Protein backbone atom coordinates (compact mmCIF):
# COMPACT_ATOMS: atom_id res chain seq x y z
CA UNK A 1 0.00 0.00 0.00
CA UNK A 2 2.83 2.40 0.87
CA UNK A 3 4.47 1.63 -2.46
CA UNK A 4 1.20 2.41 -4.32
CA UNK A 5 0.68 5.71 -2.43
CA UNK A 6 4.30 6.68 -3.05
CA UNK A 7 3.93 5.93 -6.76
CA UNK A 8 0.73 8.01 -6.94
CA UNK A 9 2.40 10.94 -5.15
CA UNK A 10 5.33 10.76 -7.54
CA UNK A 11 2.96 10.81 -10.51
CA UNK A 12 1.01 13.73 -9.07
CA UNK A 13 4.28 15.59 -8.39
CA UNK A 14 5.45 15.09 -11.99
CA UNK A 15 2.06 16.28 -13.30
CA UNK A 16 2.32 19.34 -11.04
CA UNK A 17 5.80 20.16 -12.34
CA UNK A 18 4.56 19.82 -15.91
CA UNK A 19 1.67 22.21 -15.20
CA UNK A 20 4.04 24.76 -13.64
CA UNK A 21 6.33 24.56 -16.66
CA UNK A 22 3.42 24.98 -19.06
CA UNK A 23 2.07 27.95 -17.08
CA UNK A 24 5.52 29.52 -16.94
CA UNK A 25 5.94 29.24 -20.69
CA UNK A 26 2.54 30.79 -21.21
CA UNK A 27 3.24 33.72 -18.88
CA UNK A 28 6.82 34.45 -19.86
CA UNK A 29 6.69 33.72 -23.55
CA UNK A 30 5.91 36.36 -26.17
CA UNK A 31 4.13 34.05 -28.62
CA UNK A 32 0.71 34.58 -27.11
CA UNK A 33 0.88 38.38 -27.61
CA UNK A 34 -0.82 39.32 -30.85
CA UNK A 35 0.86 42.54 -32.11
CA UNK A 36 -2.35 43.88 -33.59
CA UNK A 37 -4.39 43.29 -30.44
CA UNK A 38 -1.65 44.68 -28.20
CA UNK A 39 -1.30 47.81 -30.29
CA UNK A 40 -5.07 48.31 -30.45
CA UNK A 41 -5.22 48.59 -26.64
CA UNK A 42 -1.80 50.13 -25.97
CA UNK A 43 -2.40 53.02 -28.34
CA UNK A 44 -5.49 54.02 -26.30
CA UNK A 45 -3.39 54.13 -23.13
CA UNK A 46 -0.78 56.13 -25.02
CA UNK A 47 -3.36 58.67 -26.25
CA UNK A 48 -4.50 59.27 -22.69
CA UNK A 49 -0.92 59.79 -21.57
CA UNK A 50 0.35 62.18 -24.27
CA UNK A 51 -2.81 63.58 -25.88
CA UNK A 52 -4.61 62.94 -29.15
CA UNK A 53 -2.73 65.55 -31.19
CA UNK A 54 0.72 64.46 -30.10
CA UNK A 55 -0.22 60.82 -30.63
CA UNK A 56 -1.49 61.47 -34.13
CA UNK A 57 1.60 63.43 -35.10
CA UNK A 58 4.07 60.73 -34.04
CA UNK A 59 2.22 57.41 -33.79
CA UNK A 60 -0.61 57.86 -36.32
CA UNK A 61 1.15 55.71 -38.90
CA UNK A 62 3.23 53.58 -36.51
CA UNK A 63 2.56 49.95 -35.62
CA UNK A 64 4.09 46.91 -33.94
CA UNK A 65 6.21 44.75 -36.24
CA UNK A 66 6.93 42.02 -33.71
CA UNK A 67 6.96 41.08 -30.02
CA UNK A 68 9.77 38.70 -29.17
CA UNK A 69 12.21 38.00 -26.33
CA UNK A 70 10.79 40.77 -24.17
CA UNK A 71 11.20 43.39 -26.91
CA UNK A 72 8.43 45.26 -28.73
CA UNK A 73 9.59 46.28 -32.20
CA UNK A 74 7.73 49.33 -33.49
CA UNK A 75 8.06 50.76 -36.97
CA UNK A 76 7.39 54.33 -38.07
CA UNK A 77 7.49 56.15 -41.39
CA UNK A 78 9.90 59.07 -40.78
CA UNK A 79 13.37 59.44 -39.30
CA UNK A 80 12.47 62.51 -37.22
CA UNK A 81 9.56 60.57 -35.67
CA UNK A 82 11.86 57.69 -34.73
CA UNK A 83 14.32 60.07 -33.09
CA UNK A 84 11.55 61.90 -31.21
CA UNK A 85 9.89 58.68 -29.99
CA UNK A 86 13.14 57.22 -28.69
CA UNK A 87 14.15 60.48 -27.03
CA UNK A 88 10.89 61.62 -25.44
CA UNK A 89 8.27 58.85 -25.52
CA UNK A 90 10.02 55.57 -24.78
CA UNK A 91 8.92 55.59 -21.15
CA UNK A 92 5.31 56.40 -22.11
CA UNK A 93 5.34 53.44 -24.50
CA UNK A 94 6.68 51.10 -21.82
CA UNK A 95 3.93 52.19 -19.42
CA UNK A 96 1.26 51.67 -22.11
CA UNK A 97 2.50 48.12 -22.79
CA UNK A 98 2.72 47.41 -19.06
CA UNK A 99 -0.96 48.36 -18.66
CA UNK A 100 -1.89 46.28 -21.71
CA UNK A 101 0.18 43.14 -21.15
CA UNK A 102 1.21 43.35 -17.47
CA UNK A 103 4.80 43.02 -18.61
CA UNK A 104 7.81 45.30 -18.83
CA UNK A 105 9.07 45.38 -22.40
CA UNK A 106 12.11 46.95 -23.98
CA UNK A 107 11.31 49.17 -26.93
CA UNK A 108 12.90 49.23 -30.38
CA UNK A 109 11.80 51.74 -33.01
CA UNK A 110 12.67 51.05 -36.64
CA UNK A 111 12.28 53.16 -39.76
CA UNK A 112 10.49 51.33 -42.51
CA UNK A 113 11.19 51.95 -46.17
CA UNK A 114 8.51 52.86 -48.73
CA UNK A 115 6.08 53.51 -45.92
CA UNK A 116 3.44 54.90 -48.23
CA UNK A 117 3.87 52.50 -51.13
CA UNK A 118 0.61 50.91 -50.09
CA UNK A 119 -2.38 53.16 -49.54
CA UNK A 120 -3.83 50.80 -46.93
CA UNK A 121 -3.35 51.12 -43.20
CA UNK A 122 -1.42 48.40 -41.43
CA UNK A 123 -4.30 47.19 -39.25
CA UNK A 124 -7.68 46.54 -40.79
CA UNK A 125 -10.58 44.12 -40.32
CA UNK A 126 -13.55 42.94 -42.30
CA UNK A 127 -17.09 43.93 -41.38
CA UNK A 128 -18.81 40.63 -40.54
CA UNK A 129 -22.30 42.11 -40.61
CA UNK A 130 -22.02 44.14 -43.81
CA UNK A 131 -23.56 42.93 -47.03
CA UNK A 132 -20.34 43.50 -48.92
CA UNK A 133 -17.99 40.91 -47.44
CA UNK A 134 -15.04 42.51 -49.27
CA UNK A 135 -15.56 45.90 -47.60
CA UNK A 136 -12.57 46.78 -45.39
CA UNK A 137 -12.88 48.99 -42.33
CA UNK A 138 -9.72 50.54 -40.90
CA UNK A 139 -9.24 51.10 -37.19
CA UNK A 140 -8.22 54.77 -37.40
CA UNK A 141 -10.64 57.54 -36.45
CA UNK A 142 -11.32 60.57 -38.63
CA UNK A 143 -9.04 62.68 -36.41
CA UNK A 144 -6.22 60.18 -36.79
CA UNK A 145 -6.67 60.11 -40.56
CA UNK A 146 -6.43 63.88 -40.57
CA UNK A 147 -3.23 63.71 -38.53
CA UNK A 148 -1.82 61.12 -40.90
CA UNK A 149 -2.73 63.31 -43.88
CA UNK A 150 -0.99 66.24 -42.22
CA UNK A 151 2.16 64.22 -41.55
CA UNK A 152 2.20 62.95 -45.12
CA UNK A 153 1.78 66.47 -46.50
CA UNK A 154 4.47 67.77 -44.13
CA UNK A 155 6.96 65.18 -45.31
CA UNK A 156 6.27 65.91 -48.97
CA UNK A 157 6.54 69.66 -48.43
CA UNK A 158 10.12 69.49 -47.02
CA UNK A 159 9.08 71.88 -44.24
CA UNK A 160 10.75 71.74 -40.84
CA UNK A 161 7.97 71.16 -38.26
CA UNK A 162 9.84 73.10 -35.57
CA UNK A 163 9.37 76.42 -37.42
CA UNK A 164 6.06 77.72 -36.06
CA UNK A 165 4.42 81.04 -35.30
CA UNK A 166 4.23 80.31 -31.58
CA UNK A 167 8.04 80.18 -31.31
CA UNK A 168 8.71 83.06 -33.71
CA UNK A 169 9.67 86.09 -31.60
CA UNK A 170 8.19 89.31 -32.97
CA UNK A 171 10.09 92.57 -32.43
CA UNK A 172 10.53 95.93 -34.08
CA UNK A 173 12.89 94.30 -36.59
CA UNK A 174 10.30 91.94 -38.09
CA UNK A 175 6.85 93.24 -37.11
CA UNK A 176 5.86 94.18 -40.69
CA UNK A 177 7.07 90.86 -42.08
CA UNK A 178 5.07 88.92 -39.47
CA UNK A 179 1.94 90.98 -40.18
CA UNK A 180 2.29 90.18 -43.89
CA UNK A 181 2.58 86.48 -43.02
CA UNK A 182 -0.64 86.61 -40.99
CA UNK A 183 -2.44 88.33 -43.86
CA UNK A 184 -1.27 85.62 -46.25
CA UNK A 185 -2.71 82.94 -43.96
CA UNK A 186 -6.12 84.58 -43.99
CA UNK A 187 -6.30 85.07 -47.76
CA UNK A 188 -3.86 82.72 -49.47
CA UNK A 189 -2.87 83.80 -52.97
CA UNK A 190 -4.81 87.06 -52.85
CA UNK A 191 -3.75 89.29 -49.96
CA UNK A 192 -0.11 89.72 -50.98
CA UNK A 193 1.25 87.79 -53.93
CA UNK A 194 4.12 87.32 -54.29
CA UNK A 195 5.70 87.99 -50.89
CA UNK A 196 9.40 88.80 -51.07
CA UNK A 197 11.32 88.76 -47.76
CA UNK A 198 14.88 90.01 -47.65
CA UNK A 199 17.48 90.44 -44.92
CA UNK A 200 20.91 89.31 -43.77
CA UNK A 201 21.66 85.66 -43.02
CA UNK A 202 20.25 84.42 -39.73
CA UNK A 203 17.55 87.05 -39.07
CA UNK A 204 14.57 84.65 -39.29
CA UNK A 205 13.45 84.65 -42.95
CA UNK A 206 13.44 80.85 -43.23
CA UNK A 207 11.64 80.47 -39.90
CA UNK A 208 8.85 82.86 -40.90
CA UNK A 209 8.33 81.38 -44.36
CA UNK A 210 8.20 77.84 -43.08
CA UNK A 211 5.86 78.89 -40.26
CA UNK A 212 3.42 80.02 -42.95
CA UNK A 213 3.71 76.66 -44.71
CA UNK A 214 3.27 74.67 -41.49
CA UNK A 215 0.22 76.67 -40.47
CA UNK A 216 -1.40 76.25 -43.90
CA UNK A 217 -0.99 72.47 -43.67
CA UNK A 218 -2.38 72.38 -40.13
CA UNK A 219 -5.47 74.22 -41.30
CA UNK A 220 -5.89 72.09 -44.41
CA UNK A 221 -3.62 69.04 -44.94
CA UNK A 222 -4.96 68.70 -48.47
CA UNK A 223 -3.20 71.88 -49.54
CA UNK A 224 -0.11 71.30 -51.64
CA UNK A 225 2.89 73.14 -50.16
CA UNK A 226 6.52 72.94 -51.25
CA UNK A 227 9.54 74.57 -49.62
CA UNK A 228 12.75 74.52 -51.65
CA UNK A 229 16.01 76.43 -52.03
CA UNK A 230 16.82 77.89 -55.44
CA UNK A 231 19.86 75.60 -55.61
CA UNK A 232 17.69 72.50 -55.14
CA UNK A 233 15.26 73.87 -57.73
CA UNK A 234 18.18 74.10 -60.17
CA UNK A 235 19.41 70.58 -59.36
CA UNK A 236 15.98 69.08 -59.91
CA UNK A 237 15.60 70.96 -63.16
CA UNK A 238 18.98 69.67 -64.42
CA UNK A 239 18.05 66.12 -63.43
CA UNK A 240 14.71 66.45 -65.23
CA UNK A 241 16.48 67.58 -68.40
CA UNK A 242 18.98 64.71 -68.12
CA UNK A 243 16.27 62.08 -67.65
CA UNK A 244 13.88 63.72 -70.14
CA UNK A 245 11.22 64.24 -67.47
CA UNK A 246 10.75 67.96 -67.96
CA UNK A 247 6.98 67.65 -67.85
CA UNK A 248 7.01 65.90 -64.48
CA UNK A 249 9.24 68.63 -63.08
CA UNK A 250 6.94 71.38 -64.33
CA UNK A 251 3.82 69.66 -63.06
CA UNK A 252 5.36 69.26 -59.60
CA UNK A 253 5.94 72.98 -59.11
CA UNK A 254 3.03 74.35 -61.11
CA UNK A 255 0.36 72.34 -59.30
CA UNK A 256 0.97 73.68 -55.78
CA UNK A 257 -1.10 75.97 -53.57
CA UNK A 258 1.96 77.49 -51.91
CA UNK A 259 5.50 77.59 -53.32
CA UNK A 260 8.25 78.82 -50.96
CA UNK A 261 11.68 79.44 -52.50
CA UNK A 262 14.66 80.32 -50.29
CA UNK A 263 17.96 82.03 -51.24
CA UNK A 264 16.48 83.23 -54.51
CA UNK A 265 19.40 85.69 -54.97
CA UNK A 266 21.48 82.82 -56.37
CA UNK A 267 19.26 82.69 -59.45
CA UNK A 268 21.42 85.51 -60.85
CA UNK A 269 24.09 83.00 -61.89
CA UNK A 270 21.71 80.56 -63.65
CA UNK A 271 20.04 82.00 -66.79
CA UNK A 272 18.21 78.75 -67.64
CA UNK A 273 16.82 78.55 -64.12
CA UNK A 274 15.56 82.12 -64.47
CA UNK A 275 13.57 81.10 -67.52
CA UNK A 276 11.96 78.11 -65.81
CA UNK A 277 11.29 80.11 -62.64
CA UNK A 278 9.63 82.86 -64.65
CA UNK A 279 7.18 80.46 -66.31
CA UNK A 280 6.48 78.66 -63.03
CA UNK A 281 5.87 82.03 -61.39
CA UNK A 282 3.42 83.10 -64.10
CA UNK A 283 1.48 79.83 -64.00
CA UNK A 284 1.00 80.01 -60.23
CA UNK A 285 0.27 83.72 -60.15
CA UNK A 286 -2.42 83.49 -62.81
CA UNK A 287 -4.06 80.65 -60.86
CA UNK A 288 -4.03 82.73 -57.62
CA UNK A 289 -1.57 80.35 -56.00
CA UNK A 290 0.69 81.82 -53.32
CA UNK A 291 4.40 82.44 -53.93
CA UNK A 292 6.83 83.39 -51.14
CA UNK A 293 10.47 84.19 -51.85
CA UNK A 294 13.44 85.05 -49.66
CA UNK A 295 16.76 86.68 -50.44
CA UNK A 296 19.65 88.38 -48.67
CA UNK A 297 18.97 91.57 -50.64
CA UNK A 298 15.99 93.39 -52.22
CA UNK A 299 15.01 92.57 -55.84
CA UNK A 300 16.53 95.75 -57.24
CA UNK A 301 19.98 94.73 -55.90
CA UNK A 302 19.99 91.21 -57.40
CA UNK A 303 22.30 91.45 -60.40
CA UNK A 304 22.13 89.68 -63.76
CA UNK A 305 18.43 88.80 -63.71
CA UNK A 306 16.00 89.71 -66.45
CA UNK A 307 13.83 92.78 -66.03
CA UNK A 308 10.65 90.74 -66.37
CA UNK A 309 11.69 88.41 -63.52
CA UNK A 310 12.70 91.37 -61.35
CA UNK A 311 9.34 93.02 -61.96
CA UNK A 312 7.59 89.79 -60.85
CA UNK A 313 9.61 89.78 -57.63
CA UNK A 314 8.63 93.39 -56.94
CA UNK A 315 5.00 92.94 -57.97
CA UNK A 316 3.61 92.02 -54.56
CA UNK A 317 4.80 92.81 -51.04
CA UNK A 318 8.51 93.36 -50.45
CA UNK A 319 9.32 93.31 -46.72
CA UNK A 320 12.70 93.46 -45.04
CA UNK A 321 13.66 91.63 -41.84
CA UNK A 322 16.40 93.37 -39.93
CA UNK A 323 18.79 92.16 -37.24
CA UNK A 324 16.99 91.88 -33.88
CA UNK A 325 17.48 94.65 -31.32
CA UNK A 326 18.72 93.96 -27.80
CA UNK A 327 15.27 93.37 -26.28
CA UNK A 328 14.29 91.00 -29.09
CA UNK A 329 17.56 89.09 -28.73
CA UNK A 330 16.85 88.63 -25.02
CA UNK A 331 13.33 87.38 -25.88
CA UNK A 332 14.74 84.96 -28.48
CA UNK A 333 17.20 83.49 -25.99
CA UNK A 334 14.52 83.10 -23.31
CA UNK A 335 12.22 81.45 -25.84
CA UNK A 336 15.02 79.03 -26.68
CA UNK A 337 15.56 78.21 -22.99
CA UNK A 338 11.83 77.63 -22.56
CA UNK A 339 11.75 75.22 -25.51
CA UNK A 340 14.72 73.31 -24.10
CA UNK A 341 13.18 73.37 -20.60
CA UNK A 342 16.39 74.66 -19.05
CA UNK A 343 17.71 77.82 -17.39
CA UNK A 344 20.93 79.80 -17.09
CA UNK A 345 21.61 82.95 -15.02
CA UNK A 346 20.24 86.16 -16.54
CA UNK A 347 23.69 87.77 -16.66
CA UNK A 348 24.89 85.13 -19.14
CA UNK A 349 21.81 85.61 -21.31
CA UNK A 350 22.51 89.34 -21.30
CA UNK A 351 26.20 88.77 -22.08
CA UNK A 352 25.29 86.74 -25.16
CA UNK A 353 22.60 89.22 -26.28
CA UNK A 354 25.00 92.16 -26.00
CA UNK A 355 27.84 90.57 -27.92
CA UNK A 356 26.05 88.64 -30.69
CA UNK A 357 23.92 91.21 -32.43
CA UNK A 358 23.05 90.16 -35.96
CA UNK A 359 22.60 86.41 -36.33
CA UNK A 360 19.90 84.42 -34.51
CA UNK A 361 21.60 81.10 -35.29
CA UNK A 362 24.79 82.34 -33.63
CA UNK A 363 22.74 83.53 -30.64
CA UNK A 364 21.20 80.09 -30.15
CA UNK A 365 24.51 78.35 -30.78
CA UNK A 366 26.21 80.44 -28.09
CA UNK A 367 23.43 79.71 -25.61
CA UNK A 368 23.69 75.99 -26.38
CA UNK A 369 27.38 76.08 -25.41
CA UNK A 370 26.57 77.75 -22.11
CA UNK A 371 23.66 75.42 -21.23
CA UNK A 372 25.92 72.45 -21.97
CA UNK A 373 28.27 73.57 -19.20
CA UNK A 374 25.47 73.69 -16.64
CA UNK A 375 24.19 70.28 -17.73
CA UNK A 376 27.68 68.91 -17.07
CA UNK A 377 27.57 70.33 -13.55
CA UNK A 378 29.96 73.21 -14.25
CA UNK A 379 29.16 76.66 -12.82
CA UNK A 380 31.18 78.95 -15.11
CA UNK A 381 32.17 82.52 -14.26
CA UNK A 382 31.43 85.39 -16.59
CA UNK A 383 35.05 85.22 -17.78
CA UNK A 384 34.65 81.48 -18.52
CA UNK A 385 31.55 82.14 -20.60
CA UNK A 386 33.24 85.02 -22.40
CA UNK A 387 36.24 82.84 -23.21
CA UNK A 388 34.03 80.04 -24.58
CA UNK A 389 32.12 82.52 -26.72
CA UNK A 390 35.37 84.20 -27.77
CA UNK A 391 34.25 87.51 -26.30
CA UNK A 392 37.17 89.72 -25.28
CA UNK A 393 35.95 91.17 -21.99
CA UNK A 394 39.36 92.65 -21.27
CA UNK A 395 39.26 94.73 -24.45
CA UNK A 396 35.76 95.84 -23.60
CA UNK A 397 36.86 96.84 -20.11
CA UNK A 398 39.77 98.85 -21.55
CA UNK A 399 37.25 100.90 -23.48
CA UNK A 400 35.60 101.86 -20.17
CA UNK A 401 37.34 104.87 -18.63
CA UNK A 402 36.87 106.41 -15.19
CA UNK A 403 35.36 109.44 -16.87
CA UNK A 404 32.73 107.25 -18.54
CA UNK A 405 31.95 105.58 -15.21
CA UNK A 406 31.36 108.92 -13.50
CA UNK A 407 29.18 110.10 -16.39
CA UNK A 408 27.06 106.92 -16.34
CA UNK A 409 26.48 107.12 -12.58
CA UNK A 410 25.70 110.83 -12.94
CA UNK A 411 22.98 110.09 -15.52
CA UNK A 412 21.42 107.11 -13.73
CA UNK A 413 21.49 108.58 -10.22
CA UNK A 414 20.70 112.11 -11.45
CA UNK A 415 23.60 113.90 -9.78
CA UNK A 416 26.16 116.24 -11.30
CA UNK A 417 29.65 114.94 -12.07
CA UNK A 418 31.05 117.89 -10.13
CA UNK A 419 29.08 116.75 -7.06
CA UNK A 420 30.49 113.20 -7.34
CA UNK A 421 34.03 114.58 -7.35
CA UNK A 422 33.26 117.39 -4.89
CA UNK A 423 33.27 117.62 -1.12
CA UNK A 424 29.52 117.56 -0.40
CA UNK A 425 28.53 114.66 1.83
CA UNK A 426 24.74 114.55 1.64
CA UNK A 427 23.52 110.95 1.83
CA UNK A 428 22.43 110.63 -1.81
CA UNK A 429 25.57 112.24 -3.27
CA UNK A 430 27.79 110.16 -0.99
CA UNK A 431 25.99 107.01 -2.11
CA UNK A 432 26.45 107.95 -5.79
CA UNK A 433 30.15 108.55 -5.14
CA UNK A 434 30.41 105.13 -3.48
CA UNK A 435 28.77 103.54 -6.55
CA UNK A 436 31.45 105.13 -8.75
CA UNK A 437 34.18 103.70 -6.54
CA UNK A 438 32.51 100.30 -6.52
CA UNK A 439 32.30 100.17 -10.34
CA UNK A 440 35.86 101.40 -10.77
CA UNK A 441 37.01 98.51 -8.58
CA UNK A 442 34.78 95.74 -9.92
CA UNK A 443 34.66 96.59 -13.62
CA UNK A 444 37.99 98.31 -14.26
CA UNK A 445 39.86 96.58 -11.41
CA UNK A 446 41.76 99.79 -10.64
CA UNK A 447 44.09 99.92 -7.61
CA UNK A 448 42.57 101.40 -4.45
CA UNK A 449 44.77 104.50 -4.61
CA UNK A 450 43.80 105.16 -8.24
CA UNK A 451 40.09 104.83 -7.43
CA UNK A 452 40.47 107.31 -4.56
CA UNK A 453 42.21 109.81 -6.86
CA UNK A 454 39.39 109.63 -9.47
CA UNK A 455 36.85 110.91 -6.92
CA UNK A 456 39.26 113.33 -5.25
CA UNK A 457 39.73 111.26 -2.12
CA UNK A 458 43.09 110.78 -0.39
CA UNK A 459 42.57 107.68 1.71
CA UNK A 460 42.22 104.26 0.07
CA UNK A 461 40.34 102.99 3.13
CA UNK A 462 37.45 105.16 1.92
CA UNK A 463 37.33 103.00 -1.22
CA UNK A 464 37.30 99.77 0.79
CA UNK A 465 34.45 101.08 2.93
CA UNK A 466 32.53 102.22 -0.18
CA UNK A 467 32.79 98.82 -1.88
CA UNK A 468 31.64 96.99 1.26
CA UNK A 469 28.79 99.44 1.71
CA UNK A 470 27.54 99.04 -1.88
CA UNK A 471 27.70 95.25 -1.66
CA UNK A 472 25.47 95.45 1.40
CA UNK A 473 23.06 97.91 -0.24
CA UNK A 474 22.74 95.71 -3.34
CA UNK A 475 21.52 92.87 -1.15
CA UNK A 476 19.11 95.00 0.89
CA UNK A 477 17.78 97.48 -1.66
CA UNK A 478 16.67 96.03 -5.05
CA UNK A 479 15.96 99.50 -6.46
CA UNK A 480 19.54 100.67 -5.91
CA UNK A 481 20.85 97.31 -7.18
CA UNK A 482 18.86 97.83 -10.39
CA UNK A 483 20.33 101.31 -10.83
CA UNK A 484 23.86 99.96 -10.41
CA UNK A 485 23.14 97.26 -13.02
CA UNK A 486 21.87 99.97 -15.36
CA UNK A 487 25.16 101.83 -14.99
CA UNK A 488 27.15 98.71 -15.82
CA UNK A 489 24.95 97.97 -18.86
CA UNK A 490 25.51 101.50 -20.17
CA UNK A 491 29.26 101.10 -19.79
CA UNK A 492 29.36 97.68 -21.47
CA UNK A 493 27.34 99.06 -24.33
* Cα–Cα dist 233/331, whole Å: 35
- Out of 287, 320, 353, a domain closes at 320
Q: What pLDDT score does 292 carry? A: 95
Q: What pLDDT score does 134 carry? A: 43
Does the pLDDT of residue 475 top 70, yes or no? yes
3-state secondary structure of 330: helix
Does the pLDDT of residue 491 top 60, yes or no? yes
Beta carbons of 194 and 292 less than 8 angstroms apart: yes
Q: What pLDDT score does 132 carry? A: 46
* Cα–Cα dist 337/360, whole Å: 14
Q: How many other CB atoms are found less than 10 A from the CB of residue 436?
A: 27
Q: What pLDDT score does 213 carry? A: 95
464 or 391: which leads in pLDDT: 464
Domain carrying residue 378: 343-391
Mean per-residue pLDDT of the chain: 82
Q: What pLDDT score does 195 carry? A: 95
Segment 29-49 mean pLDDT = 81
CA 484 vs CA 60, 126, 354, 454: distances in Å: 55, 75, 17, 18
Q: Residue 63 falls within a domain, yes or no?
A: yes
206 or 380: which leads in pLDDT: 206
* Cα–Cα dist 90/88, whole Å: 6
Does the pLDDT of residue 138 top 50, yes or no? no
Q: What pLDDT score does 477 carry? A: 87
Q: Residue 145 falls within a domain, yes or no?
A: no
Q: What pLDDT score does 442 carry? A: 83
Q: How confident is the model at residue 28 (pLDDT cuts 50, 70, 90)?
A: very low
Q: What pLDDT score does 390 carry? A: 65
Q: How confident is the model at residue 260 (pLDDT cuts 50, 70, 90)?
A: very high
What's the pTM value of the predicted model, to 2 decimals? 0.54
55 or 10: which leads in pLDDT: 55
Segment 456-464 mean pLDDT = 86
* Cα–Cα dist 20/386, whole Å: 68
Across 69-73, 214-218, 351-355, 390-394, least confident range:
390-394
Among 435, 425, 424, residue whose Cα is nearest residue 467: 435
Q: Residue 326 falls within a domain, yes or no?
A: no
Q: What pLDDT score does 14 carry? A: 57
Answer yes or no: do 287 and 211 share one domain.
yes
Answer yes or no: do 347 and 305 share one domain.
no
Does the pLDDT of residue 262 top 80, yes or no? yes
Q: Residue 238 falls within a domain, yes or no?
A: yes
Q: Residue 433 falls within a domain, yes or no?
A: yes
Q: How confident is the model at residue 31 (pLDDT cuts 50, 70, 90)?
A: low
Among 232, 421, 205, residue whose Cα is nearest residue 320: 205
Segment 206-210 mean pLDDT = 95
Does the pLDDT of residue 121 top 70, yes or no? no
Please classify residue 76 by burial: count the beta carbons closer than 10 Å to its beta carbon, then call 0-12 exposed, 13-18 middle and 19+ buried: buried
Q: What pLDDT score does 113 carry? A: 67
Answer yes or no: do 261 and 293 share one domain.
yes
Alpha-helical (H) ranges within 188-325 are 205-219, 230-242, 246-254, 271-286, 307-313
Q: What pLDDT score does 159 carry? A: 93
Identify the CATH number of the domain in which residue 450 sits.
1.10.1750.10
Answer yes or no: do 369 and 403 share one domain.
no
Does the pLDDT of residue 396 top 80, yes or no? no
- Out of 60, 80, 111, a domain closes at 111
Answer yes or no: do 169 and 292 share one domain.
yes
7 or 425: which leads in pLDDT: 425
Q: How confident is the model at residue 136 (pLDDT cuts 50, 70, 90)?
A: very low
Q: What pLDDT score does 123 carry? A: 55
Does the pLDDT of residue 71 top 80, yes or no? yes
Answer yes or no: do 276 and 170 share one domain.
yes
Does the pLDDT of residue 74 top 70, yes or no? yes
Answer yes or no: do 195 and 306 share one domain.
yes
Residue 127: φ, ψ to 5°: -85, 110
Q: What pLDDT score does 142 carry? A: 62
Pairing of strands 71-76, 63-68: antiparallel
The pLDDT tens digits of the residues spanning 210-245 come to 999 999 999 899 899 999 998 888 888 888 888 888
Q: Residue 329 falls within a domain, yes or no?
A: no
Q: What pLDDT score does 325 carry? A: 85
Does the pLDDT of residue 359 top 60, yes or no? yes
Answer yes or no: do 175 and 271 share one domain.
yes
Does the pLDDT of residue 133 top 50, yes or no? no
Domain count along the chain: 4
Q: Residue 443 falls within a domain, yes or no?
A: yes
Answer yes or no: do 282 and 410 share one domain.
no
Q: What pLDDT score does 319 carry? A: 93
Please classify residue 333 by burial: count the beta carbons closer than 10 Å to its beta carbon, then call 0-12 exposed, 13-18 middle and 19+ buried: buried
Across 235-249, 307-321, 389-403, least confident range:
389-403
Does the pLDDT of residue 290 top 50, yes or no? yes
Answer yes or no: do 163 and 246 share one domain.
yes
Identify the CATH number of the domain in which residue 206 sits.
3.40.50.300
DSSP string, 157-212: HT--TT--GGG----TTTHHHHHHHHHHHHSTTTSSSSEEEE-STTSSHHHHHHHH
Answer yes or no: do 432 and 284 share one domain.
no
Q: How confident is the model at residue 391 (pLDDT cuts 50, 70, 90)?
A: low
Q: Residue 406 falls within a domain, yes or no?
A: yes
Q: How confident is the model at residue 122 (pLDDT cuts 50, 70, 90)?
A: low
Answer yes or no: do 259 and 186 share one domain.
yes
Identify the CATH number of the domain in which residue 49 sits.
3.30.300.180
Amino acid sequence: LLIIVSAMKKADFENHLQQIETTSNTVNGDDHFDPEEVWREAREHLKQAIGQREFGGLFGNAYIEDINNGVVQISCDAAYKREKILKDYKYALQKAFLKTCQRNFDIEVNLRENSRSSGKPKYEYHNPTGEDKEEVLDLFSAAEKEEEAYNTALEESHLNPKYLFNNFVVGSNNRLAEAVAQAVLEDLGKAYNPVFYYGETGVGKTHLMQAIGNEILKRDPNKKVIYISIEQFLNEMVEAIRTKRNEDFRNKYRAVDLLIIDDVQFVETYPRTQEELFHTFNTLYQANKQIILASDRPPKEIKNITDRLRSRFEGGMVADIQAPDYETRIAILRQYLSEKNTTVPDEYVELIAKNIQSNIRELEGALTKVTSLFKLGVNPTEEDVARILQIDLETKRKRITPKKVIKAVSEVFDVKTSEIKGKRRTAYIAQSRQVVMYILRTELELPLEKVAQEVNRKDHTTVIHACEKIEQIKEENPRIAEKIDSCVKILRG
